[in-house]
Amino acid sequence: MSSNEGSGAAATGGRRLADARSVYLRSAAEQGIEWYPWGPEPFELAKQLNRPVLLDIGAAWCHWCHVMDEGTYSDSEVVRLINEHFIAVKVDRDEHPEVDRRYQRQVGALSGEGGWPLTGFLTPSGETFLGGTYFPPDEGHGRPGFRRVLGEVDRLWREEPDQVRQNTQAVSESLERLRSFGGGSKRPNAGVSLVAQVRENLSSSYDPVHGGFGHAPKFPHPTAVSFLLWDGFATGENRSVVRAGETLLRMADGGMYDQLGGGFHRYSVDEGWHIPHFEKMGIDNAALLSAYTEGARRFDEPRFVETVRGTVGWIREVLEDPSGGFGSSQDADNAPGDDGRYFTWTRPELKEVLEPVDRKLVARFFGVGTEGRMHHDPEQNVLFRLVPIEEAAQGLDLGDLGALPRLARAVGVLKRARQRRPTPAVDRARYASINGPILGALAQASRALDDPSMLATARRAADTFLDRAYEPERGIAHRLDSEGAFGFGRLEDNAAFAYGLVELAGATAEARYASAAGAILDLIDKAFRSDSGLLSDIAPTLYDGPMVGALEDRVYPVEDTPHLSPNSTAALALLRYGSLTQPEKPFDRARSLLAALAPRLDGAGLFGSGAALALGLLSTPSARIVVEGSGPESDALVRAANRTWHPNLWVFRGLPPEPFSLPEELRAGNREAGAARALVCFGQRCLAPISDPAALRTAIEEADRPTG
């Protein structure tokens, strides 16, 4: 028995988790199951007792994880079977994404299933031999009952060890095939082929009725939208641009966007974006904020500006930490057995808080009683934009206020009424892999909307992490809390935070952010790059977590999931950093990484959008603009540049300091003291000075296209 087992036995049930940093683990502390947190102790005990390991991976935001905790893992017979025949390990996938990544692959190789909760049955050495996702205690939801599953797994472990070995060998062989797939490809122009593949896949999977890609359940793919915008710019194909705009508009009008509180839910259960899966993820909202900022710059569409402001509002109101940085997610549920009740409305609830005319206006505009009705309870309605405001207002006596102000007032009443309900919990854990994209998106939005407060929020988050969670020799830590920084050596933290710092550096023209981003990108190249050229998800020399179970396997995350993959994030960070500072090394590293990445994404289609976008930017001359002078004329030029879309644009007020770099023609050009003018370069080609904002917008829109 391990040295900690004696104290663990005294603390029965899940109370080993009571002091865990993870709120998800702490929520299981009162269960009767003898849960262990991730680490060597449970695997050592499993070897000593010759028991299989039951691995449960979930998250605080996960609805079906709560259902399994509240039903399956609270069932007395399930508790007895687990405690008598298994060693139980509970993992927060946000706290340990590297653990989740490996066991999603292993369980998927056996069962074809993935997602959360992830349920794995492991040998004491950490190899998966059976697994699945959600299991009810008894047969239901089309799933086998967990009591029966546990009994059969226990029998298999005791009576058929050869079958267990065959299963683990099958997983090993399947993963080896995945590792080798595409890795030896030497096809010429593999990168061009990937761009063409993604273009074709987005075209064939595009939903011409509702926008977006694929069928229900329907996830937002913001990186695919960015790729379509680049594709329209590169090829002159307006169809790509139209599809990008239509997708953004349909998502913003749908129930997946919180029409009262701002921000996006995780995905839509239907094709029309009407009914969401209600959890709100920081990482999703960061990517969508970035995409809608692009949309606000590319299209003359007020809804995109409104959506940017609403998403920023939710991030600030719900996720922002007073000391700097952002929490990770907001739960879908506010009580056991709930399914998004906080976010939905019945007609009697609307009647209780709204005047009759306002209630009619809201019901018409937000489609109450139509496609947004919850399937399990049609009285509950998700609010989505069904008709234009003019149509919703027809025949109503709205008084002097008018339709839009009256609607805005009603929305405010509903939001305040909703805030009086029990509120879904927020996971306050601050992860670098989430904070980097959020602060980067805020920096982008601040430029496009000319809102310094957004930039101040982004700067505060960056400063907090750089001061408390960054070490030059170790990179950025995974998690920051009141006790300090934890979890070094993860690729997605370093790549995502470097990307955010690059965007912040460009928005502020502050050298310290650019220098920190460059140092992190150097560390990534040094510590994470493999012989194949790909980046592994953990660095052996930096990783400070326990190397148990499947953690010794090298994993190279290449596909978007639909979140941007860590390898593609690193490539995009290198390209943006290179265009900002102009040394050749970042571009060379990006080329090398993409050369290794493109063959591995052969056939990935939509899930290769991030790498395809990076390949597109690699061949696209960056746009760099210096606005000189001061006063209203200079301000107008800055606003015109920042509000005009280009796939790789930087705007400076005056010459930036080192390490920011500009073409020599721009840096050494003749200066007219006090004159308001914009100096514009595409790559190394510079234009004559421009003093008219409309002419500046035209010049950016007609920028040099890709060269390769």
pLDDT tens sequence across 412-457: 999 999 999 999 999 999 999 999 999 999 999 999 999 999 999 9
Tell how strand 479-481 and strand 377-381 pair up. unpaired
Residue 477 near residue 469 (C-beta atoms within 8 A) = yes
Instruction: Check whether 5 has a pLDDT greater than 50.
Output: no
What pLDDT does 179 receive? 65
Q: What is the mean pLDDT of residues 374-398?
A: 95
Burial classification of residue 691, based on how many CB atoms lie within 10 Å of its CB (0-12 exposed, 13-18 middle, 19 or more buried): middle
What pLDDT does 2 receive? 36
Q: What is the mean pLDDT of residues 543-570?
A: 95
Q: What is the mean pLDDT of residues 500-514?
A: 98
Q: In which element (H, E) is residue 628 found?
A: strand 623-628
Strand partners, 681: 624, 686
Alpha-carbon gap, residue 608 to 227, rounded angstroms: 10
Whether CATH 1.50.10.20 fits 430-618: yes
Alpha-carbon gap, residue 289 to 386, rounded angstroms: 23
Q: What is the mean pLDDT of residues 661-684?
A: 79
Residue with tokens 């919180």: 258
Alpha-carbon gap, residue 382 to 253, rounded angstroms: 12
Alpha-carbon gap, residue 501 to 651, rounded angstroms: 16
Alpha-carbon gap, residue 502 to 517, rounded angstroms: 6
Residue 38 near residue 305 (C-beta atoms within 8 A) = no
Tell how strand 430-431 and strand 35-37 pair up. unpaired
What pLDDT does 450 receive? 97
Q: What is the mean pLDDT of residues 645-669?
A: 87
Tokens of 494: 């370093």
Residue 438 near residue 328 (C-beta atoms within 8 A) = no
Alpha-carbon gap, residue 289 to 297, rounded angstroms: 12
Q: What is the mean pLDDT of residues 602-610?
A: 95
Q: What is the mean pLDDT of residues 500-520?
A: 98
- The alpha carbon torsion through 409, 410, 411, 415 (nearest 10 deg) reads 100
Q: What is the mean pLDDT of residues 674-693?
A: 94
What pLDDT does 6 receive? 35
> What would the pLDDT profile of 101-154 be if each residue is shown by its tens digit?
999 999 999 988 899 999 999 999 999 999 999 999 998 777 899 999 999 999
Residue 288 near residue 387 (C-beta atoms within 8 A) = no
pLDDT tier for residue 625 given thresholds of 50, 70 and 90: very high
Q: What is the mean pLDDT of residues 36-60?
A: 98
> Which distant-in-sequence residues (6+ apart) come within 8 Å of 77 by Cβ?
137, 147
Q: Maximum distance among all alpha carbons in the chain?
A: 87
Domain 5-180 identical in fold to domain 430-618: no
Alpha-carbon gap, residue 256 to 155, rounded angstroms: 44
CA R_g for the chain: 26
Residue 509 near residue 454 (C-beta atoms within 8 A) = no
pLDDT tier for residue 372 given thresholds of 50, 70 and 90: very high
> What would the pLDDT profile of 63-95 be if each residue is shown by its tens digit?
999 999 999 999 999 999 999 999 999 999 999
Q: In which element (H, E) is residue 476 found?
A: strand 475-476
CA atoms within 13 A on the CB side of 456: 6
Cα 495–chain centre separation:
13
Instruction: Check whether 182 has a pLDDT greater than 70.
Output: no
Alpha-carbon gap, residue 78 to 219, rounded angstroms: 34
User: Would you identify the CATH topology of the domain 5-180?
Assistant: Glutaredoxin (3.40.30)
Smallest CA-to-CA distance from 90 within 34, 30, 157 is with 34
623-701 — its CATH code?
A: 3.40.30
Alpha-carbon gap, residue 229 to 195, rounded angstroms: 13
pLDDT tier for residue 4 given thresholds of 50, 70 and 90: very low
Q: What is the mean pLDDT of residues 233-257?
A: 97
What pLDDT does 176 receive? 80
Cα distances (angstroms) measured from residue 343 to each of 260, 346, 376, 471: 9, 11, 15, 41
Q: Where are the domains of the chain?
A: 5-180, 208-291+299-313+332-427, 430-618, 623-701
Within 509-627, residue ranges assigned H as helices are: 511-527, 566-581, 584-600, 609-618
Q: What is the mean pLDDT of residues 490-515?
A: 98
- CA-based angle 552:281:408, to the nearest 5? 170
Instruction: Give percent above pLDDT 70 in the chain.
Output: 95
Q: What is the mean pLDDT of residues 569-594?
A: 96
Smallest CA-to-CA distance from 99 within 620, 676, 548, 536 is with 548
The SS3 of residue 134 is coil
What pLDDT does 7 receive? 35
Alpha-carbon gap, residue 568 to 537, rounded angstroms: 12
Q: Directed axis angle between helix 238-253 and helix 282-298, to 10°?
A: 130
